[in-house]
Every structure is written in structure tokens, then in C-alpha cells.
Amino acid sequence: MNQIPVFKPLIEREEIAAAVESLELGWLGMGSYVKQFEEAVAGVCQLSPDNNKYVVAVSTGHAALHLSLLMMDVGPGDEVITPSFNNAADFQAIRACGAEPVFVDIVENTLCIDTYKVEELITDKTKCIIAMDYDIFLCDHDSLLEISRRTGIPVLHDAAHSFGSSYKGRPIGNQHQYTMFSFDPVKTITCIDGGAIIVRGEDAVKRLHAKRLIGMTQPAAQMYTNSRAWNYDMEELGFRYHMANLHAAIGVAQIKKIDEIRRTRQETCNRYHEELSNIDWLDVPKAEFESVNPFLFYVRALNGERAELQEHMKRHGVDTGIHWQAGHSFSFLKDCRSGSLEVTERIVEQILSLPLHSKMSNSDLDQIIHSVRSFK
């Protein structure tokens, strides 16, 4: 029997041709393809110098988080509020700055940050709030902006799951001072590995260009012509976090397909919703799929039998995933401050990610739906 994976990359002729072309160019580091990739990301997010927002491509989503926090001057003694229900990369990026995560709960119907509970956790040590769009849901960005305006605490928007989605008609990337994307192997758009920061103002872009290039003030404009300067300064801490041409070339080829990727994923989510939402032991989310580029599709086993469901589906040729374990359950993070995590505690016991691929075949979808429905 065909074993259906949770994630399946859409690597077709175009991505392979782009990769070969970028290798044949003979400039393997950061170069002209990275410029093209940043322009393509800016196009999807509808950024322009008029709104003073720019894209800086980096090597991973984790690098994008780490650099964004450093740009906000997050350091030792500071606290960063993040959902405990978040990716390991967010927690590690906070700790990499020498700061402490403070765990906040999520809202039951979207699994995104609970903005009421955020307010209870703010102290004079709070340097930043990380708000992460989860799967098919977007955060309540209006409330987050209002909190940020009132308290002066900036929001770092983790949009690793929502590249190509729109919030109230505006593409993701425009809502906050810092937004990050991930283009890792399993994302809707992949560079194999890659990330990007959307930032406001040319000064911030200039600093980020040096910070991603191990601190070297090499002009990006020159590197984007596939050459380099031999004289440069080093003014502050930096990391080897730049994106390479090969990765960027694959990302550019992927972004050309974003409409098809979004449409086919939306169709699969709609079908999941139609076929699974009348099962009484299962909670199936319904988002406004037409405004999102769905990354994952999760269900919640309400009968305490998630492990059994996962095992049953595996026997029927369907892999599933768990996104995620709670941050506060990791030994590395067990002493972090938190508020009530009542919803998080419940969700992490119930949640199960079903396979979601771009251009998923009807026969795979039938097999997945049957594997869920035949459980009870």
C-alpha cells in the first residue's frame, strides 16, 4: 500500500532546471538569485519602498527569528512573550539572545496567541511579543497592534506558516515592525532551507545585510551582481546566516507557482472539512480558507485516543504528525515563567496533523479520509 507522508515537497521540472542553472552560473554564494528571490517575496507581500518595507533573505527561519530579536535589542535580562504552543526555533532564538521565554496560552478556536492573557504577563522586562500564525489560522493582529501601540512593546510576527496569506485583505508581511518567514523543506514554498525578514526602513536593511554576512559590511548591491568587495568593515556582531544562490533559485521557481499551490491546498482543506466535520469524536477546524495559503491541516481527537488514531491511520497507509509539544514541557525550558496554559495543555494531547500537500491527488485524499472515518 502507498504510505502517504505528512509533507511532500512540490519539486518539479522548473525547480530542478532553476537549481542546475544557478550551479552553472558558477557563483555559489549570495548573488543575483538572492536579489530575485527578495523581489519575488516582496511581490507576494505587496511591499514597496512607498510603504518603507523591505525583504532580507537569510539561511533559515531560525536565523530570521534570531536576527529580528537582536535588531530589537533583545538581550540578557530581557523577557520575550511567546505562545508555549510554538516551534522550537522560536524558543531557541530567544535563548540565543540570552533572554528568557515567557509562555502565554493560545485561543481554543484558532490555536494562536491569546491577546488577553498576553497583557497579564507584561512586566518592565518584556522586550518583545512573538505572535505566530498557526496552520490555517491568523492571529488577532489588530489587538496585537493595539497592545504594541499602548505599551511600546514591539511584535515579532512569526509568519512561517502564513506566507502568501492575507489578513483583512492585506498580504501577510505588512502588519508589524518585524515579520519572519521560513522556506524550509516542508513549507508551502521551499528554498530547501531559507528564511526572510520583512523590516521597516533602509537603515535596518543595511544593518541586517551585515548581520547576516558574519558582520561584514560588504555592499549587498555588489554581491547581487555575483561579485564581492575586498575592503569592508566589521562594526558589530554577525552570523553566517546569508542565503545562497542555489536555495534562492529554487525559491524563485516555487514562488512562480504560488497561486496553484494556494488553490490546491485550499481545495484539500475544504474537502477535509466537508468529509470529517460530522464525526462526533473529532474536532475539525474551519477557517476562511480563501484568505490563507494553508500550511498544515490539523484535527483534534476529543476522545482521548489520539495515539490509537495515529496508529490506526498508519496501518491504513497514512502518516500523521504532532505539531507541537508544548514549550514548557521541554527540560531546557521547564523553569520559564508562564501564565495559565490551560488551553495549551489540552490541545497538545489532542492535536494531530493530517497530510497536506500541494497538488494532492484525489486517491490520496480518499485514502486519508477513509483512514479517519474507519477508526470508530
Ligand X SMILES: Cc1ncc(COP(=O)(O)O)c(C=O)c1O
Closest by Cα among 90, 140, 88 to 111: 140
Q: How far is 34 from 27, CA to CA, in rounded Å?
A: 11
User: What is the residue type of 359?
Assistant: K
Provide the minimum distance between the beta carbon of 60 and ligand X in the complex, in angstroms, as a whole number: 4
Which of 160, 246, 255, 261 binds ligand X (CB under 6 A)? It is: 160
Which of 61, 154, 164, 171 binds ligand X (CB under 6 A)? It is: 61
254 binds ligand X (CB under 6 A): no
x-or-dash pattern for ligand X, window 178-207, by CB under 6 A? Answer: ----x-x----------x------------
DSSP 8-class letter at 240: B
Q: Which is nearer to ligand X, 72 or 276 (CB)?
A: 72
First-to-last alpha carbon distance for the chain, in angstroms, is: 21
**Which span sits near ligand X by CB under 6 A: 56-64, 238-246, 247-255, 258-266?**
56-64
138 binds ligand X (CB under 6 A): no
Q: How many helices (H) and strands (E) does the chain have?
A: 13, 12
Dihedrals phi, psi of 188, to nearest 5 degrees? -60, -40
Q: Which is nearer to ligand X, 251 or 371 (CB)?
A: 251
> Would you say 167 and 49 are in contact if contact means Cβ atoms under 8 Å apart?
no
132 binds ligand X (CB under 6 A): yes
161 binds ligand X (CB under 6 A): yes
87 binds ligand X (CB under 6 A): yes
Residue whose Cβ sits closest to ligand X: 61
Q: How far is 258 from 238, CA to CA, in rounded Å?
A: 32
CA distances (Å), 175 to each of 104, 134, 359, in order?
21, 16, 29
**Which span sits near ligand X by CB under 6 A: 60-68, 73-81, 307-315, 366-374?**
60-68
294 binds ligand X (CB under 6 A): no
Provide the minimum distance between the beta carbon of 366 and ligand X in the complex, in angstroms, as a whole number: 28
Q: Which is nearer to ligand X, 162 or 217 (CB)?
A: 162
Q: How far is 298 from 21, CA to CA, in rounded Å?
A: 37
Q: How far is 118 from 107, CA to CA, in rounded Å?
A: 11
CA distances (Å), 106 to each of 88, 110, 220, 285, in order?
16, 8, 39, 15
DSSP 8-class letter at 4: B
**Which span sits near ligand X by CB under 6 A: 50-58, 153-161, 205-213, 342-350?**
153-161
Which of 44, 57, 74, 89 binds ligand X (CB under 6 A)? It is: 89
Which of 53, 62, 242, 357 binds ligand X (CB under 6 A)? It is: 62
Mapped to the 3 state alphabet, what secondary structure does 45-106 carry? HCCCHHHCEEEEEECCHHHHHHHHHHHCCCCCCCEEEEECCCCHHHHHHHHHCCCEEEEECE
For residue 375, the tally of other CB atoms under 10 A from its CB is 18
Which of 22, 36, 60, 367 binds ligand X (CB under 6 A)? It is: 60
Which of 15, 79, 90, 140 binds ligand X (CB under 6 A)? It is: 90
Give the footprint of ligand X on this chain (CB under 6 A).
60-62, 87, 89-90, 132, 158, 160-161, 182, 184, 195
